[in-house]
Amino acid sequence: MAMRQTPLTCSGHTRPVVDLAFSGITPYGYFLISACKDGKPMLRQGDTGDWIGTFLGHKGAVWGATLNKDATRAATAAADFTAKVWDAVSGDELMTLAHKHIVKTVDFTQDSNYLLTGGQDKLLRIYDLNKPEAEPKEISGHTSGIKKALWCSEDKQILSADDKTVRLWDHATMTEMKSLNFNMSVSSMEYIPEGEILVITYGRSIAFHSAVSLDPIKSFEAPATINSASLHPEKEFLVAGGEDFKLYKYDYNSGEELESYKGHFGPIHCVRFSPDGELYASGSEDGTLRLWQTVVGKTYGLWKCVLPEEDSGELAKPKINFPETAEEELEEIASENSDSIYSSTPEVKA
Amino acid sequence: MQTPLAVPVPVLRLPRGPDGLSRGFAPDGRRAHLKPGAPESQECPVGQGSQESQEQRVRAALRERYLRSLLAMVGRQVSFALHEGVHVTAHFGATDLDVANFYVSQLQTPIGVQAEALLRCSDIVSYTFKL
């Protein structure tokens, strides 16, 4: 029987979601962090989308957010000219790193000892997280604001993207090794360590380059301007989303468009596969994150595959508005009436 | 060419959103024992830990007894001693979540009987009722 994708909508943000990142796979599952223009990045359980907590402290839009591999630390980049490092277990703010302009991107090294930041001041900064008072190392060279900066090649190199270039830097010598130029604005960049692949989006193009040489591997054209794309860990699929509000799924080997999904009510700003490849998350101008199954119909997370023999009349009926306890009902009523910090929405809006 | 109407994948429930009351990071969450100040700290020997949990158990038991006493009061005649030596009686109805107000009926006051009333708990010095 043909099954139709049921995206899971994660609500809670009140403004556009501009960045999202998954942690690695930890003994407690994997986690997802979302950056939002409302200044309140949120941590969620990666396989269900359940909200865990909100990092409170930034005084401006949060443009970038990331988690370290074991999801014990989070880092955020904001329009308040700071990057912050957080304890992702307790939600406490650990460090505020002052910058001279809007910070757009943050990335941890594999061992979580260093944080890379970049932003509108066109400088890459490397902070030693064991010595937060020390001045960061700075790398200059970009001629326009940095949109994304990533560690690569086992943290020995740095990839950074500004409006029209992608540059590769050597960490030890802090010098530029290679660069790529584009005619159109680079909208996103993703680094895949296994296979050293770089995914770059610009205009309607989704391009794949070697992260070591920056040589092009292949590229695909989408029907609309793409803002973000992600390659599946096993490199079978890629997903992309952009200005037409749709998510596209392509076969990586053939370039064939396999699926397109409607659902968001605004342009998609970010899309990422989970570390196990079973789902991908998209963040949109509409203020929501949505989780999508890679294999539609598979039982995973909150998706439950019901085989025809098991049909008891509950098939294809999502259990909506099913508060487990009376407390949840009270909270719903309370949140509608009271002046809460977040505009939390009830479990379901029909 | 129309594909047959596909059935949407069923879901157990929707993702839970923020509770609107706190910033989250639940103390009883999955990763709670990883938090700083948990077993990592050497200044917290096991003995002290069990004393604290013993105290917590006692507190919980006392709280439960108090809540049950409120339940037992429902519908009964209760005498309240208020400030300035004022005494009133009423039928107890309910309390609110924080036990800040008591909802009562047939409140007998020095100036008359009030059919329905809210008594502020901060105005109450003590109250008694017969089981």
Residue pLDDT, tens place only, A136-155: 999 999 999 999 999 999 99
Counting residues of chain B whose pLDDT is more than 90, the rounded percentage is 45
Cα–Cα dist A287/A310, whole Å: 36
**Contact B10/A335, CB-based, under 8 Å?**
no
The pLDDT, as a whole number, for residue B51 is: 77
How high is the mean pLDDT of chain B? 84
Does residue A255 belong to the interface with chain B, where contact is any CB pair within 8 Å? no
**pLDDT, averaged in runs of 10, over chain A (350 residues):** 91 95 95 97 97 97 97 97 97 97 98 97 97 94 97 97 96 96 96 96 97 96 97 96 97 96 96 97 97 94 75 45 41 39 40
Per-residue pLDDT band at B36 (split at 50, 70, 90):
low
Residue B49 in this model has a pLDDT that exceeds 90: no
Residue B99 in this model has a pLDDT that exceeds 80: yes
The pLDDT, as a whole number, for residue B28 is: 66
Q: Could you tell me if B20 and A342 are in contact, meaning their C-beta atoms sit under 8 angstroms apart? A: yes
* Whether the predicted interface score ipTM is above 0.85: no
Strand ranges (E), A162-204? 165-170, 175-181, 186-192, 197-202
What's the gap in Å between the CA of B79 and the closest CA on chain A? 31
| Three-class secondary structure of residue A329 per DSSP | helix
**Contact A331/B29, CB-based, under 8 Å?**
no
Q: How do A148-152 and A137-139 pair as beta strands?
A: unpaired
What's the gap in Å between the CA of B118 and the closest CA on chain A? 21
The pLDDT, as a whole number, for residue B53 is: 84
**Domains delineated in chain A:** 17-181 (2.130.10.10), 185-293 (2.130.10.10)
Residue from the list A91, A314, A347 with its beta carbon closest to the beta carbon of B14: A347
**Contact A54/B4, CB-based, under 8 Å?**
no
Residue pLDDT, tens place only, B1-23: 555 678 899 999 999 999 888 99
Name chain B contacts of A8, Cβ cutoff 8 Å.
11, 14-15
The pLDDT, as a whole number, for residue B4 is: 67
- For residues B62 and A332, the model is more confident at B62
**Residues 201-230 of chain A whose Cβ lies under 8 A from any Cβ of chain B:** none
The pLDDT, as a whole number, for residue A105 is: 98
CA angle A228, B13, A292 (to 5 degrees): 20
Does residue B36 belong to the interface with chain A, where contact is any CB pair within 8 Å? yes
What's the gap in Å between the CA of B62 and the closest CA on chain A? 22
Does residue A74 belong to the interface with chain B, where contact is any CB pair within 8 Å? no
Dihedral sign (CA A220, A224, A225, A227): negative
Residue from the list B4, B7, B17 with its beta carbon closest to the beta carbon of A344: B17
Does residue A94 belong to the interface with chain B, where contact is any CB pair within 8 Å? no
The pLDDT, as a whole number, for residue A307 is: 64
Please count the residue pairs, one from chain A and one from chain B, whose beta carbons lie less than 8 angstroms apart.
138
**Contact A6/B30, CB-based, under 8 Å?**
no
In the block, which residue shows the tokens 């107890």?
B92
Provide the 10 A C-beta neighbour count for residue A301: 22
| B5 to chain A: closest CA residue | A2
**Domains delineated in chain B:** 74-129 (2.30.30.100)
Residue from the list B6, B20, B31 with its beta carbon closest to the beta carbon of A3: B6
**Contact A6/B4, CB-based, under 8 Å?**
no
What's the gap in Å between the CA of B29 and the closest CA on chain A? 8
What's the gap in Å between the CA of A347 and the closest CA on chain B? 7
DSSP string, chain B: -PPPPPEEPPBS-PPP---SSS-B--TTSTTGGGSTTSTT-TT--HHHHHHHHHHHHHHHHHHHHHHHHHHHHTTSEEEEEEGGG-EEEEEEEEE-TTS-EEEEEEEEETTEEEEEEEEEGGGEEEEEE--
- Check: pTM over 0.90? Answer yes or no: no
Q: What is the DSSP letter of A136?
A: P
Chain A interface disruption, residue of B9, B31, B97, most A CBs within 10 A: B9
Q: Could you tell me if A82 and A99 are in contact, meaning their C-beta atoms sit under 8 angstroms apart? A: yes
**Residues 314-343 of chain A whose Cβ lies under 8 A from any Cβ of chain B:** 314-320, 322, 331, 334-335, 338, 340-343
Per-residue pLDDT band at B88 (split at 50, 70, 90):
very high
Q: Half-sphere exposure (CA, 13 Å, Cβ side) for A37?
A: 12
Does residue B13 belong to the interface with chain A, where contact is any CB pair within 8 Å? yes
What's the gap in Å between the CA of B94 and the closest CA on chain A? 17
Class of residue A164 by CB neighbours under 10 A (exposed 0-12, middle 13-18, buried 19+) = middle
Cα–Cα dist A43/B14, whole Å: 16
Residue pLDDT, tens place only, B106-121: 999 888 999 999 999 9
